[in-house]
Amino acid sequence: MNYLLAKTTDLENRSRRDNLRIIGLSENYDEEKSLDTILQEIIKENCPDVIESEGKIGVERIHRTPSERNPKIKTPRNIVAKFQNYQIKEKILQAAKKKPFKSRGATIRITQDLAASTLKERRAWNMIFQKAQELEMQPRINYTAKLSIFFQGRRWTFNETNEFHLFLKKKPELNKKFDL
């Protein structure tokens, strides 16, 4: 059963490979222009070097995600954009990692679109990741949810938080610093 769940999650993540998720864009934008036009404007404003020679970015599909189940929360719905070209999507994602994107003065986030279960697995690393950043260990979260750190001149990779905790027990000098 675990094997099938992992395989299904992997298939879902691979099917989302060409997608980007845009977080924090006001719902009012939809009334004035199409989402495709809005995305083109955001890209032109924040990373004009990505735009192709004809001046447009090939977006296959773009839509807002369904509303959340809790009607009390008034945050704008996310936007999911499926790009025709994977390399352009990667260029936009890299530009978004370097500096925050702005749209009409508001900050928006652009992230990779991943399955909910993968996002949950990645969130499990948050505290460890932040502490590793403070200790300047060059942490990374690799696909799908593996932590990678640089320690004692070597890169270490962990698949689960349990593995990292066992690693800490073997390294008392590091264990004191993490204190998780």
pLDDT greater at residue 51 or residue 5: 5
- The pTM for the full model equals 0.79
Nearest to 50 by CA among 111, 109, 58: 58
pLDDT digits (tens, 9 = 90+) for 39-59: 988 998 898 887 765 667 889
Per the structure, the complete domain to which residue 122 belongs is given by: 116-178
36 and 108 housed in the same domain: yes
Number of structural domains (the chain) is 2
pLDDT greater at residue 22 or residue 76: 22
Upstream peptide bond of 37 is cis (omega within 30 degrees of 0):
no
44 and 107 housed in the same domain: yes
- Which is it for the CA torsion 66, 71, 73, 74, positive or negative? positive
Of 76, 94, 112, which closes a domain?
Answer: 112
Cβ-count burial 142-172 (b if 16+ within 10 Å, e if not):
eebbbbebeeeeeeeebeebeebeebbeeee
Which stretch, 30-39, 52-61, 100-109, has highest mean pLDDT? 100-109
